[in-house]
Amino acid sequence: DTAVSQTPKYLVTQMGNDKSIKCEQNLGHDTMYWYKQDSKKFLKIMFSYNNKELIINETVPNRFSPKSPDKAHLNLHINSLELGDSAVYFCASSQDYGQETQYFGPGTRLLVL
């Protein structure tokens, strides 16, 4: 079984649309994350979610909103998509906040046209 799964794997959409990416982990971890990896391969943390506490990277536009229906899921909703949102989005989880061993999902490749 896949430890951290994301859907969809690829997402191509028009500018201005609203889209969601889903993430699920079956590791029983308490903390989940969303990362953005741009074309220059920089991996930047967007959100950390631990026991209903959301920690937001202040550089993330408020068009991005994480939603966690339960501990095993952390979805990412994006409003009014822009060209610059094109990137690979990785979901990850760790046993607890601050744990260096993070388990990543396979990534969602988003292309905004």
Q: Which is nearer to another protein, 58 or 70 (CB)?
A: 58
Strands 108-112 and 10-13 come out as parallel
Q: Which residue pairs from 51-55 have beta carbons closer than 8 angstroms and sit at least 24 positions apart in sequence?
A: none
Nearest to 74 by CA among 41, 113, 105: 105
**85: which DSSP letter?**
G
CB of 84 vs another protein, minimal distance in Å: 18
CB of 102 vs another protein, minimal distance in Å: 7
Q: Which is nearer to another protein, 9 or 67 (CB)?
A: 9
CB of 65 vs another protein, minimal distance in Å: 20
CB of 17 vs another protein, minimal distance in Å: 24
Distances (CA, A) of 75 to 31, 66, 67: 13, 6, 5
- Coil/strand/helix, residue 94: strand
In the complex, which residues of this chain contact another protein (CB under 8 A)?
40-45, 48, 55, 90, 97-98, 100-102, 104-107
Are 1 and 103 contacting, i.e. CB atoms less than 8 angstroms apart? no
Q: Which is nearer to another protein, 43 or 113 (CB)?
A: 43
Q: Which is nearer to another protein, 40 or 52 (CB)?
A: 40
